């Protein structure tokens, strides 16, 4: 089974990269399941129903959010009704929506996606992701109740992401970090077979400050007394994503980080 996890989509340029590259990648690389993080898809802040549907049309199977997932008007309504769009699981139980998604793909295999948020240095409070996973792993087990388990961990600290990857090694198929929008060069298969990357970066314009217009962010740092409204950068985006091949036991056998288009040096296909 072949899995693709796409980095945080930022603004219109990020959306255009998904629409441009994802259909071809799915066809050419025979990808069975695609996960896309959409926390910044609508102008850098959240997701709308229309944008979500454009990602599904391009080939996404599950969308994950993060700390901005409810920023857009109307987001609560469609997150409540569409099981393919996830908010972080480890937030208050009364939060609308869901943090776990289950998909049965065309081969009949069941894929479980769990969306978590970090506790450290995040603008939105979250419960302990380690405790949350302990409870979930009593229900979801590779080779028994799921053919693949994928974790999107939306977190700031590299240490927290690495710790969760180590904690889950061998119990889940893939752990990818999102949120910082900067891809880390540490994609690897951990000791017990879990595919891991601290952060898979963004699908967005890298001639920016993490996807936002750089002049506005610089002004925000320089003129702290001025309230600066940020906007997403609009240049050509780089598509970033992690491609993982799984064994029949749900653990990883091969891994490759993809960079296509835009300002970053492309990966060798």
As annotated, the active-site residues are 68
Which residues make Cβ contacts (< 8 Å) with residue 204, sequence separation at least 6? 8, 9, 10, 11, 13, 14, 17, 40, 181, 211, 232, 233, 237, 238
Q: How do 148-154 and 188-189 pair as beta strands?
A: unpaired
Which residues make Cβ contacts (< 8 Å) with residue 225, sequence separation at least 6? none
For residue 108, the cross-strand partners are: none
Query: Is there a contact between 230 and 213 (Cβ–Cβ < 8 Å)?
Result: yes
How many residues are there in the chain?
Answer: 269
């Amino acid at each position: 089974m072949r899995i693709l996890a796409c980095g945080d989509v930022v603004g219109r340029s990020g959306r255009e990269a998904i629409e441009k590259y994802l259909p071809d990648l799915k066809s050419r690389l025979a990808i069975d399941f695609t996960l896309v993080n959409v926390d910044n898809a609508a102008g850098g802040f959240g997701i709308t129903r229309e944008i979500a549907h454009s990602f599904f049309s391009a080939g996404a199977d599950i969308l994950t959010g993060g700390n901005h997932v409810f920023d857009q008007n109307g987001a609560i309504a469609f997150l409540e009704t569409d099981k393919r769009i996830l908010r972080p699981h480890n937030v208050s139980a009364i939060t609308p929506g869901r943090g776990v998604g289950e998909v049965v793909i065309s081969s009949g295999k069941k894929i479980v996606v769990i969306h978590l948020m970090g506790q450290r240095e995040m603008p939105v409070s979250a419960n302990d992701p380690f405790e949350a996973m302990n409870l979930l792993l009593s229900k979801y087990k590779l080779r028994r109740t799921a053919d693949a388990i994928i974790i999107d961990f939306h977190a700031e600290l590299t240490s927290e992401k690495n710790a969760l990857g180590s904690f889950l090694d061998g119990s889940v198929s893939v752990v990818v970090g999102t949120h910082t929008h900067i891809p880390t060069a540490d994609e690897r298969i951990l000791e017990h077979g879990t595919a891991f990357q601290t952060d898979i970066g963004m699908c967005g314009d890298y001639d920016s400050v993490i996807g936002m217009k750089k002049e506005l962010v610089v002004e925000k740092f320089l003129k702290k007394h001025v309230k600066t409204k940020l906007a997403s950068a609009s240049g050509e985006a780089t598509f970033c994503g992690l491609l993982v091949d799984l064994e029949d036991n749900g653990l990883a056998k091969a891994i490759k980080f993809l960079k296509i288009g835009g300002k970053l040096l492309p990966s060798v296909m």
